[in-house]
Each structure stands twice: as structure tokens, then as C-alpha cells.
Amino acid sequence: MPRPIYRRKLGDAIRHRRKARKLSQEKLADHADVHRNYIGLIERGEQNIPIESRVKVAKALKCKVTDLVVDAEI
């Protein structure tokens, strides 16, 4: 089943911000208090990301959840 486009775009936005901050998936996961594999699934658009996790990831990336949505052009 194909992944929804918004998941892929959001994952791309998170990956872009993570790399811009020079963070590994593992470091981002540590800062967001989630598992490293979860970050990989999100970045590939394979995992739906609930609002609580979006907030954690955004805080770890030192941005707002809305910044991620704007970056993803959703």
C-alpha cells in the first residue's frame, strides 16, 4: 500500500531539519525521547506521527510543529 504523500513530506521536512542541525537519528531520538527506529520510520513516511510525538520531535529540533508542517508544504 503506498504511503500517504503528507507522511513522506513531513518525514522529509524532519530529515532536512535534523541534518541541518547535524543530528543523527539516534541523537534526535534521544532528545525527543523516542526510539531511533521510530525516527527512521517517520522520515521514510512509513509511520503516522501523532501530535504528541510531533511536539517532542519539534522541540528536539528547536522548532515549532507548525514549522515542520510549513516545511512539508502540507
The reported pTM is 0.91
Tell me the CA distances in angstroms from 68 to 1, 15, one per residue in order.
25, 10
Contacts of 74 (CB under 8 A, 6+ apart): 6, 9, 10
Q: Which domain holds residue 30?
A: 5-72
Report the CATH number that the domain containing residue 31 is assigned in CATH.
1.10.260.40
Question: Per residue of the chain (74 residues), what is the pLDDT tens digit?
Answer: 677 899 999 999 999 999 999 999 999 999 999 999 999 999 999 999 999 999 999 999 999 999 999 998 86
User: What's the domain count of the chain?
Assistant: 1
- Among 25, 45, 20, CA closest to 37: 25
